[in-house]
Each structure stands twice: as structure tokens, then as C-alpha cells.
Amino acid sequence: MVISKKVEFSASHICRSPQLSDAENERVYGPAANPHGHGHNYVVEVAVEGDPDPVTGMILDLKRLKEILDDKVLEVYDHRLLNREVSPFDHVVPTVENIAIDIWNRVAPSINGRGRAKLYSVRVHESSELSVEYRGEE
């Protein structure tokens, strides 16, 4: 069984790779390469897999999951310029793909190996038209 919880944060980012020329950055990222940055309301869905505890009926205490998401995601990402204020985006391009991987890496240690729950997927919506899902190393 998989249960998921959703949180939202607002952040800005710049999609430019130092390994590409200005012209290549413009071609690859289009207007998102604007060096002044732009922003999004990101929606993050974290899904946890496991069997419900026979006593509580819960896979993972949702209060605990909320604390993890507040602490590891919102505290870090909300109202930030990702390139300057969130590692590893000083050297990794903060595409929605890399954001999903980073959130997985931040929340996995708090969820996995503590009881019956296991992190199943991290889905990040950058807009209503675009989202990615990461299920860890496959």
C-alpha cells in the first residue's frame, strides 16, 4: 500500500549550466535561462510504501511525515532562490528533475529503516503542466 502527502513551496531558480556556453544555455533552457531568475509554486508529493500497522492502522504516522517534510523540504526550499540558497544547486542545475532527486535524498534517511515504511516516490510539480517522479535508484 502506498500513501502520499503533498506540500507546496514557492521558490525561484535559474536554469543555466556553467558547462554550457551562453548560446547553448539559451537553446537548451529557453527563457528559463534568464540570469535574473524566475519562479514557481512547486507542489511536492512524497509517497511512502508499506503495510499498515495492525494496531494503529497506519503505514507511517502522518504527523511524523509532516514534520519530516516541514524540516527537510519546506524549511530548506520555501521562499528561496534555489541556485544560491539550496545545496547542491550551486553546482547542479535546479531543473525539476534534479529537485525531485534532491528531495528524495533529503527525506529518504528520515523515512527508510524506521519501522515499516519505505520511501516509494517523490513527485514534483513545477506547474500544472509539468511534473516529474523519482523512485530512487532503479
Sheet of 118-125, strands arranged across: 80-81, 2-13, 38-49, 118-125, 131-134
Choice from 87, 114, 127, 135 touching another protein (CB under 8 A): 127
Smallest gap, in angstroms, from Cβ of residue 99 to another protein?
13
Choice from 13, 16, 72, 123 touching another protein (CB under 8 A): 13
Q: Name the residue among 113, 107, 130 with its Cα closest to residue 121.
A: 107
Q: Scan residues 73-112 and list those touching another protein (CB under 8 A).
A: 78-81, 84-85
N-to-C CA span, the chain: 19
Choice from 10, 22, 27, 71 touching another protein (CB under 8 A): 10
Q: Check if the beta carbon of residue 124 is closer than 8 Å to that of residue 44.
A: yes
Smallest gap, in angstroms, from Cβ of residue 127 to another protein?
5
Q: Which is nearer to another protein, 77 or 120 (CB)?
A: 77
Smallest gap, in angstroms, from Cβ of residue 63 to another protein?
22
Smallest gap, in angstroms, from Cβ of residue 66 to another protein?
18
Q: Torsion angle, CA of 5/11/130/92, rounded to 10 degrees?
A: -100
Q: Which is nearer to another protein, 110 or 131 (CB)?
A: 131
Calculate the alpha carbon distances from 31 to 34, 79, 94 in Å. Answer: 6, 21, 14
Helix (H, G, I), strand (E, B) or coil at 98: helix
Q: Which residues bind another protein (CB under 8 A)?
A: 8, 10-13, 31-32, 34, 36-41, 78-81, 84-85, 126-128
